[in-house]
Amino acid sequence: MPEHETAATRRQLLSRIGAVAGAGALYQAMTSLGHAAASDFVNPPKLSGARPGTSVLILGSGLAGMVAAYELQKAGYKVQILEYQNRAGGRNFSLRGGDTFEELGGAVQHVGFAQGNYFNPGPWRIPYHHQAVLHYCRTLGVALEPFVQVNHNAYVHSSTAFNGAPQRYRVVDADYSGYVSELLAKSLNQHALDNEISADEREHILQSLKSCGMLDASYAYKKSDLTSMRRGYEKPPGGGLDGPSIASTPLSRGDIFSSGLWQAISVNSLLNHQTSMFQPVGGMDQIGKAFQKQLQNVINLRCKVTAIHQDDSGVSVTYTDDAHGSVTRIAKADYCICTIPLSILSQLDIQVSGSMRAAIAAVPYAPAIKIGLEFNRRFWEEDEQIYGGISFTDLPITQISYPSTKYFSNGKAVLLGAYLWEDVQAFRFAGMTPAERIEASIASGEKIHKQYRKEYSSGVAVAWSRVPWAMGCSSIWSEQRRKDHYKNLCTMDNRIVLAGEHASYIGGWQEGSMLSSINAIEQLHKRASGVG
């Protein structure tokens, strides 16, 4: 297919997905179509031949900045990092009891979680194919544990289907697959597809549909022990005189298809959501802390960059040193790697080419909302046998993610009570006070879990468009923006090169930050060492 036809087809498909399933599903579809993709990481960069004394100034101590500092320092470069915040890690951070979080507009949240509990406002999971993240976790000794993405006993929920009652994931998954298999089997038996398949193929397909759809001998999907083995029983098998099971009755075919709940089921088949997935033991910030431990002597905290200039001899960066009386200082180096989010960088005085400046200004950021809710007990485990995984809903919160750690423990626990991406609801929630966001998430959540309000203990609501050092969760690229600006954004501009998730095809993921950093330092090293 010609390239222009492929692009048109993709745009049509994405538009239809967005119209039917919403912005969250659209973003995931963009991921699956190659706008974000599995990592191509194989090995860390091999840098040799660095000229002694060559200095590199890195702006930002997120994962992109710290990967660059870590690798360049090993190669013999003289490295310094300027960081705006009073900690390293960037968007890789966790909030715990006793922490304070202040957003643009002045709202301050004092996190009241119990000791040992935490919430990841930024990244919260690591796919198995994000090998750069996994490499550095192994290298730096960051312990990982499984993150449960798919839980067949979690819920899928639509406020307009089944009288607003949430349905178990396994039930909708089984019934949808069963009915689709039944309809296709009927078409085959009526010879409706004879022009498409051979007689041999027809028999093979029929047998596969019977098996995959749990169909009976007449190729029907209906109440039976067979279908109950997948969707669950009305009365599960037991022991003794009460041992016989009672099969469950499938939901009606019309209700299943009209509910739209199959949209949530399909999300977990996307590459970035497939098992296995992982999380650091004790919070996502363990990755940033591990890097910071290796780079203690090179990270300068509370440094607010105001201008970035360069000439043929080097780079000079003007910043306010808030750690030492808010004095204005100028840092100089031979080269600069800038990892400042484009949402912030576009507001600074940066001396680069017109094409890079245009690229910096062209990319908007998602106004995502994430809300962490602490409850007095793990009612989702104790009452509903949900251990990890995600429940999906058409309510504004979009999903509830249950903790994938400390199963069966007593006392308080934190779950992700809302994750809004880039639609109008995210802007609406950003306009609320933190307390209003939390109340809205409780009001939605109790439609799925009736225990919500009674068991609620405390919460924290992060609106990324109000985070002063990011002003958005992550970059939003379109096909046209990539065509017009991506190469200019990622190509080294004299002595300045950019890095961060915005300079990758894996936007919104830590892997993208790390891979962009590796590419940036390879460009810098090639220039600085005179190779090539």
Residue recorded with tokens 């469950």: 248
- CA-closest candidate to residue 506, choices 495, 492, 494, 517: 517
3-state secondary structure of 453: helix
Give yes or no: residues 414 and 300 share one domain: no
pLDDT tier at 532, thresholds 50, 70, 90: low
Residue 191 has pLDDT above 70, yes or no: yes
Q: What span, in angstroms and rounded, lies between the C-alpha atoms of 97 and 444?
A: 24
Q: What span, in angstroms and rounded, lies between the C-alpha atoms of 261 and 165?
A: 12
- CA-closest candidate to residue 515, choices 501, 531, 495: 501
Give yes or no: residues 279 and 426 share one domain: yes
Give the mean model confidence (pLDDT) for residues 209-218: 96
CA atoms within 13 A on the CB side of 410: 0
- Residue-wise pLDDT for 48-90, tens only, equals 888 999 999 999 999 999 999 999 999 999 999 999 999 999 9
Residue 278's CB is within 10 A of a number of other CB atoms, namely 18
Give yes or no: residues 501 and 352 share one domain: yes
- CA-closest candidate to residue 517, choices 531, 505, 503: 503
Which of 420, 438, 466 marks a domain boundary? Answer: 466
Q: What span, in angstroms and rounded, lies between the C-alpha atoms of 83 and 60?
A: 5
Residue recorded with tokens 């349905």: 167
Does a structural domain hold residue 6? no
Give yes or no: residues 115 and 182 share one domain: no
Which residue stretches of 386-473 are H helix? 424-430, 434-445, 452-455
Residue 32 has pLDDT above 90, yes or no: no
CB 497 within 8 A of CB 506: no
Residue 247's CB is within 10 A of a number of other CB atoms, namely 18
What token pair was written down for 181? 């298999």
Does a structural domain hold residue 436? yes
3-state secondary structure of 134: helix
Give yes or no: residues 174 and 253 share one domain: yes
Q: What CATH number does residue 84 fall under?
A: 3.50.50.60
- Residue-wise pLDDT for 451-499, tens only, equals 999 999 999 999 999 999 999 999 999 999 999 999 999 999 999 999 9
- Residue-wise pLDDT for 426-438, tens only, equals 999 999 999 999 9
What b/e sequence results for 120-142 when a residue is b if at least 16 CB atoms lie within 10 Å of its CB, and e otherwise?
bbbbbbbbebbbbbbbbbeeeeb
Q: What span, in angstroms and rounded, lies between the C-alpha atoms of 314 and 333?
A: 6
Give yes or no: residues 376 and 353 share one domain: no
Separation of CA 476 from chain center? 13
Query: Rounded to 5 degrees, what angle do the CA atoms 474, 475, 481 make?
Result: 170
Element (H, E) at 57: strand 55-59
pLDDT tier at 291, thresholds 50, 70, 90: very high
Give the mean model confidence (pLDDT) for residues 199-222: 95
Domain that holds residue 204: 169-259
Q: What CATH number does residue 409 fall under?
A: 3.90.660.10
Which of 466, 486, 510 marks a domain boundary? Answer: 466
pLDDT of residue 21: 43
What token pair was written down for 465? 């468009």
pLDDT tier at 37, thresholds 50, 70, 90: low
- Residue-wise pLDDT for 90-124, tens only, equals 999 999 999 999 999 999 999 999 999 999 999 99
Give yes or no: residues 355 and 376 share one domain: no
What b/e sequence results for 351-375 when a residue is b if at least 16 CB atoms lie within 10 Å of its CB, and e otherwise?
ebeeebbebbebbebbbbbbbbbbb
Does a structural domain hold residue 34? no
Does a structural domain hold residue 16? no
Query: Percent of the chain at pLDDT above 90?
Result: 86
Give yes or no: residues 132 and 279 share one domain: yes
- Residue-wise pLDDT for 441-462, tens only, equals 999 999 999 999 999 999 999 9
What token pair was written down for 292? 């910071």
What token pair was written down for 240? 């003794």
- CA-closest candidate to residue 10, choices 41, 25, 32, 38: 32
- CA-closest candidate to residue 287, choices 509, 134, 127, 100: 134
Does a structural domain hold residue 68? yes
Work out how many domains the chain is built from and give that number: 3
Which residue stretches of 111-198 are H helix? 131-140, 169-189
Give yes or no: residues 339 and 297 share one domain: yes
Separation of CA 487 from chain center? 24
Q: What span, in angstroms and rounded, lies between the C-alpha atoms of 197 and 98?
A: 65
CB neighbour list of residue 205: distance below 8 Å, 6 or more residues apart: 184, 188, 197
Does a structural domain hold residue 60? yes
Q: How far is CA 177 from CA 211, 223, 449, in A?
A: 11, 14, 26
Give yes or no: residues 350 and 483 share one domain: yes
- CA-closest candidate to residue 301, choices 314, 320, 286, 285: 320
Give yes or no: residues 359 and 386 share one domain: no
Residue 368 has pLDDT above 50, yes or no: yes
What token pair was written down for 329? 């200082």
Helices (H) and strands (E) in the chain, counts: 18, 23
pLDDT of residue 378: 98
Q: What CATH number does residue 246 fall under?
A: 1.20.1440.240
Give yes or no: residues 69 and 100 share one domain: no
CB 299 within 8 A of CB 83: yes
Query: Rounded to 5 degrees, what angle do the CA atoms 41, 44, 45 make?
Result: 110
Element (H, E) at 357: helix 354-362
| 386 phi-psi bin (left φ>0, alpha ψ -120 to 50, beta other) | beta
3-state secondary structure of 472: coil
Does a structural domain hold residue 74? yes
CB 75 within 8 A of CB 68: no
Does a structural domain hold residue 485? yes
Q: What span, in angstroms and rounded, lies between the C-alpha atoms of 380 and 485?
A: 46
